[in-house]
Amino acid sequence: MADRDFSAKALAWREQVVIPTYEAGAPDPNPFFLEKRVYQGSSGAVYPFPVVESVSNEPTERAYDAVFIENEYLKVMVLPELGGRIQMALDKTNDYHFVYYNRVIKPALVGLAGPWVSGGIEFNWPQHHRPSTFHTVDYDFEEGADGSWTVWCHEIDRMVGTRGAHGLRLYPGKAYIEILGRVSNRTPLPETFLWWANPAVHVDANHQSIFPPDVTAVMDHGKRDTSSFPIATGTYYKIDYAPGADISRYANIPVPTSYMAHHSDYNFVGSYDHGRQAGLLHVASHHVSPGKKQWTWGCGEFGAAWDRQLTDEDGPYIELMCGVYTDNQPDFTWLSPGEEKAFTQFFMPYKGVGVIKNATTDAAVGLEVEGDRATMRVYVTSPQQGAKVALIARSQTLLEETFDADPSVWRDFTASLPEGTDPSRLTVTVFDAAGRKLVGYRPTNVDNTPPEPAKPIGKPSEITSNEALYLAGMHLEQYRHATRRPEDYFREALRRDPEDQRCNLALGRTHFRRAEYAAAEECFHAAIRRATKHNPNPLDGECHYNLGLALAAQGRADEAEDAFWKSTWRTECQDAAYFELGRIAAGKRDWPEAESVLRRCLERNANHHQATHLLCFVLKSADRREAMLELAGVELARDPFNFGVLFEKALATGDWEAFDLRVGLSSHNHLELANDYLSAGALQRTTAVLQRLLQRTDNQPDSSLVHYYLADIAATEGDAEAAMYHGMTGATAPRGSFFPNRRSDLRVLQNHVERLPNDAQAWCDLGNVLYGKRRYDEAIRAWEEARDLSPEFAQPRRNLGLAYFNKRHDAAGAWRMLEEAYRLNTDDARVLYELDQLAKRLNHTPESRLARLQSHGEAVAKRDDLTIELATLLNLLGRHDEALSVVLGRKFHPWEGGEGKVTTQYVLALTELAIQAINDSDAKKAIDLLQRALERPDSLGEGKLAGAQENNVHYWLGVASRNLGREDEATHWFNLAACGLAEPTSAQFYNDQPPEMIYYQGLALRALGRENEATSRFEKLVAFGEEHLDDEPTIDFFAVSLPDFLVFDADLAAKNELHCRFMMALGWAGLNDDRSAGEAQDRILRLDRSHLGAMAHIKGAPVKTATANPHPSVAS
């Protein structure tokens, strides 16, 4: 292929490539609901996706079905098996990988559903990170008449049902990748999405992120914090950048940091390697692609540890994310029913220009002024003969030069500036030979006023007006907030005004999404009463449209038809309503009426792909084959993944190749298509779709739901024998990690357990989908039915354990269920972890918890989190040698919620062993142990965070050094130990300073003879604890991650009390008030027997001190 002539045509092909891969483990067979999980600032609820919680330690050679596109300048590799990501993008002209090329697949467990890999370009949709980033997507090729080739990747979202596709296109003669994005809403209600294309780039000390010249401020997730840019002068991510540091430079950011441009009127963002003189640019209209973000693990030990977790040899990277219809994370945009949003993005290499001032898809330009000389650099994305660059100051032309260039080179130009030239009045423009502007730049006035950080939304009772309650609830719904419930705001408004139209509509939509159709209908009727109070014709048709949905879902088609027609009196709902009317007409086999309303729908919304499919079905059913084939041809040229149109065409022609290729063997795709037919009453088509899947897959695992659908259809048609056959086949089908989620899945399962009430697995599935839709009581009843039907069935017992605790607040019942679940399947390490977490919440003794874990060593060894719980318990019980052995005997992989846990136990074990050595008068051994505590072995999976608080280690190094008579060393360590934040805080996150570090500051100050300062530290701890002991804590509205909510709901009040009493105990210990410290410690351990801080830092604290005496005996 190296000899191929690309001048007239790009090239695309499939190829199997072998990549060293650290295999992800098997998906957990248990459902994960994680309702209050915070992920990337929004909901981390993952159901119905199965979750993977392990990664192998060693790579194996694995073959991937890769897709390549190539032209004379670029070569791109796409991996459909990893979410359709670009794995490699090479600039052939300088052998430069302009996106990070990770030569191994080495996932870390930080994705929404577990594994996530670095490098390439990830296309994140409908939330961040892409839920299916580690799943296979549909794909195919498209050859353009202009010589271009496009690789299309496609997916229907499993969580909500929206649809996304991205095409990756190369043209001959162009040095850029065009991304053609399409997102559409297949559901009958508005849904939200965001789109972040996430390129990674290689970084080192030469790297600089290139944001547009008008970006003077950047913002954190949720816009909760701000910083000036590019020179940060304040505190951002707990790093004080004063008096100023350039945070566009990777080398200047020591900790994990996100920042997103507050605003820009430019259409580009990029990165540049000043060493290689090459970089990456993203170009897209800022009107639809305002998002410009950088993320880094940080240039330091912590970041280097993450590099080791994610690659073997390819080194550090940053992510340079590019958001469409979004400018922050989280920041979601609405999609109406049937709506498609289409957009383009361009990624391209560039070279030589450095810090560019502007870029287009044609060219990039830089302009630098130094003294009386201006330097311009130009890079073009296609060959240019006779191009021209011009530099103008006001109306005076300072330079006009013609040049030739192509994407393999850049061009430099210099011009002398007349004395007194104002650089802000310079304009540089590049034209092609025909005089068409390729790119230009003129400095503009920039608003340097820093934006205000976002403010959290108050509780419903704190909001004064119904309008504000409605807007607050809609914001929470739109942004998928993890810990606040939109319906709480709507219900508060309805408590004040029961017929508030907006809030009834919003609450009704919530009920509809949960398949609570009668409740939804009641809300919609209330909205209509208010909307039609003065006349029967409201301003918009949403009330009647939504009522039609609720009625149709209850099988009341004639009433629904009336409501849908009424909604068409206004334009807002016309295309969606005509589509629903088309479904009703098709269900009645009224083909002329169905065609009429569907054509009206398509007149309003030509991109309503489901309506096009339904019209194809209607035309074929009306024996208008040729008209159907003509329509199908037009549609498939526009949307090659319209599964319904592919199916109708295959039925008409007998050629199944395209359908089978694009739909694949995915039961999810087939069930989505089957539901499209089912919603139009096309039972035979539904059966045909599902039977084709079964014929091609021979009852693959997780085919049970397919059979349940077929049974339901057979029962509807009165075929009792077929209904029984498919019901029984589904009940006995092999199972994988499969979890139903659609509203139709719920109905089919409900019907199935009515026909086969002894199917325990179906009852469990029914409970899963009900719980996923927050219908908790019904879910519990379904799981209880499954439990009672099958004494050996572990999963419903496990699910009941979580539900009893979190929803019924029945701790005893939860414990009983989880114990039973684990007894029935002692290989299920996840359930053992949940059982141990519940034991901790129920304040079981550390001894009993340790005994349980040690008696199930094989299960513990399967999980990093269980292993670290084992080490924690050993440390709690003073068995520090064993704890250290456990920690060092394993290679840990970072996991969500595990931040800092492994290193904490490592440092604690070494520190406690050092204290024992000090008390045994072996200060040299203590120093050796403490020096080890300052290091982080690679096997821990996590490096030391810049600014990490190590006051305790430094303090004991001072004590040990003083005991050896090394007073200069002791003073050095005590001075280090005395540093840090002196003011106590709530310390919610792993990188917050824990309160014990203030305690060790005080001890160090005392050892330095600065008793007044030491006393101040201790008194602050006591004062903070006393002041905040009775606080009513709330969850941080802008939290990006909340590990405590991953399994069991946290008791915020209890956590606050423990935190405050711990502070008070530390303070009293430092003040030598042994009685108060002891009483506080006893109270803490009564509330939480596993409180590590109370065991490690308060016990015996008054005798573990060092005075200003040069040679104290700390053991006395």
Euclidean distance between the first and the last CA atom of the chain, given in angstroms as a whole number: 80
In tens, the pLDDT along 1066-1091 reads 999 999 999 999 999 999 999 999 99
393 and 272 in one domain? no
**CA–CA–CA angle 398, 401, 402 (5° rounding):** 160
128 and 72 in one domain? yes
Which of these, 890, 881, 950, lies nearest to 910 by C-alpha position?
881
pLDDT-wise least confident of 611-620, 945-954, 1014-1023: 945-954
| Contact (Cβ atoms closer than 8 angstroms) between residue 54 and residue 25 | yes
- Looking at residue 425, the DSSP 8-state letter turns out to be G
Burial 698-719 (b: 16+ CB within 10 A, else e): ebeebbbbbbbbbbbbbbeeee
In-domain check, residue 609? no
Mean pLDDT of the chain, nearest integer: 95
Q: What is the mean pLDDT of residues 77-83?
A: 98
Which of these, 120, 300, 272, lies nearest to 210 by C-alpha position?
272
CATH number of 383's domain: 2.60.40.10
| Contact (Cβ atoms closer than 8 angstroms) between residue 138 and residue 663 | yes
User: Nearest 5°: phi and psi at 193?
Assistant: -155, 160
In-domain check, residue 611? no
513: containing domain = 461-572
pLDDT at 1009: 98
pLDDT at 446: 87
Count of domains for the chain: 5
In-domain check, residue 625? no
Is residue 1051 classed as helix, strand or coil in its secondary structure? Answer: coil
In-domain check, residue 1068? yes
In-domain check, residue 680? no
Which of these, 660, 659, 582, 641, lies nearest to 617 by C-alpha position?
582
Instruction: List, in order, residues 6 or more apart from 107 with CB less than 8 Å away.
Output: 22, 24, 55, 114, 115, 116, 117, 134, 310
Helix axes 667-678, 643-653, angle to 10 degrees: 80
Q: What is the mean pLDDT of residues 193-218?
A: 98
Is residue 264 classed as helix, strand or coil in its secondary structure? Answer: coil
1042 and 970 in one domain? yes
Which of these, 204, 622, 110, 57, lies nearest to 122 by C-alpha position?
110
474 and 421 in one domain? no
CATH number of 531's domain: 1.25.40.10
Q: Residue 735: pLDDT band by 50, 70, 90 thresholds?
A: confident
334 and 418 in one domain? no
165 and 202 in one domain? yes
In tens, the pLDDT along 38-74 reads 888 899 999 999 999 999 999 999 999 999 999 999 9
pLDDT at 1043: 66
pLDDT at 4: 73
Q: Residue 3: pLDDT band by 50, 70, 90 thresholds?
A: low
Share of the chain above pLDDT 90, in %: 92
pLDDT at 1: 46
Q: What is the mean pLDDT of residues 839-858?
A: 98
d(CA 831, CA 852) in angstroms, rounded, equals 13
165 and 49 in one domain? yes
In-domain check, residue 724? no
176 and 96 in one domain? yes
Q: What is the pTM of this model?
A: 0.95
206 and 343 in one domain? yes
253 and 373 in one domain? no
Among the candidates 409, 441, 473, a domain finishes at 441
d(CA 496, CA 856) in angstroms, rounded, equals 55
In-domain check, residue 618? no
| Contact (Cβ atoms closer than 8 angstroms) between residue 188 and residue 335 | no
pLDDT at 1102: 36
In-domain check, residue 664? no
Among the candidates 410, 441, 472, a domain finishes at 441
pLDDT at 1103: 34
Is residue 321 classed as helix, strand or coil in its secondary structure? Answer: strand
476 and 423 in one domain? no
Q: What is the mean pLDDT of residues 892-899?
A: 85
User: Nearest 5°: phi and psi at 669?
Assistant: -60, -45
CATH number of 340's domain: 2.70.98.10
d(CA 517, CA 547) in angstroms, rounded, equals 10
Q: Cα 484 from chain centroid?
A: 18
In tens, the pLDDT along 297-342 reads 999 999 999 999 999 999 999 999 999 999 999 999 999 999 999 9
Q: What is the mean pLDDT of residues 673-692?
A: 98
294 and 366 in one domain? no
